Amino acid sequence: MSYITEILPQLLDGLKLTVLVFILTLILSIPLGMVLAFLLRIPIVKWFVNLYVWIMRGTPLLVQLIIIFYALPMVGPTLPRFPAALLAFTLNYAAYFAEIFRGGIKAVPNGQLEAAKVLKLSKWQTIRYIQMPQVVKIVLPSVFNEIITLVKDSSLIYVVGLGDLLRAGKIAMSRDVSLVPIMMAALIYLIFIGILTILSKKIEQRFDYYK
């Protein structure tokens, strides 16, 4: 027990960075994904977006982190560790979110857009008042699925030398030759994701007011 209280501060210290990467990635990648999803409806532009989505989903996030932190400085700016990690996560997750939102936009019946059209709503008003609110409800379960994956993916930031929850656990495991730290790290992830799951159910319930 005393061992647990001894290493807990180290783990919680790592957790701070995990949570920070998690929150900032969400704040940046969800709006970006939404923009990409709407760009997918413009001819020609959509080919570039498709190429982008293919590359982002088709290569390991770990490799993307390495490229942005280690290879980008050879041809462009050198980013500090944290911004580099955040950039890689945002670009990667935006691609996944774009695909989720694309599906959500497609799921809104065409008749809804025609109804908006005969009611003289502009394109933007149709997106804002008719499509977006319905898309949000449709995509919620998939978005939360992705969000939960992000919590665990965030551990990949070790590759650019950042110390998160999992890394704190691994360091303690090697140093003390004990499985307890890594199990505790897993437990903290489990609690974190448990909270997110409850939150997702609550939010989904709030959208139950219509069918």
What is the C-alpha to C-alpha distance for residues 132 and 98, in angstroms, rounded to an integer? 14
Contacting range for another protein; rule: CB under 8 A; set: 14-22, 35-43, 85-93, 127-135: 127-135
Residue with tokens 């930031």: 157
| Residue from 12, 67, 71, 115 in contact with another protein (CB under 8 A) | 115
If you ran DSSP here, which 8-state letter would residue 128 be given? Answer: I
The residue range among 15-23, 26-34, 104-112, 181-189 that interacts with another protein, by the rule CB under 8 A, is: 104-112
Tell me the two tokens of residue 197.
Answer: 């799951």
Query: Residue 7 is encoded by which pair of tokens?
Result: 């290493």
First to last CA, the chain: 50
Q: How many CB atoms are closer than 10 A to CB 92?
A: 24
Q: Does 105 bind another protein (CB under 8 A)?
A: no
Burial class (CB in 10 A: 0-12, 13-18, 19+), 172: buried
CB of 207 to another protein, least distance (A): 8
CB of 5 to another protein, least distance (A): 49
Q: Residue 133, interface with another protein (CB under 8 A)?
A: yes
| Residue 120 makes contact with another protein by CB under 8 A | yes
| Residues found near another protein in the complex (CB under 8 A) | 109, 111-112, 114-115, 117-122, 125, 129-130, 133-134, 137, 209-211
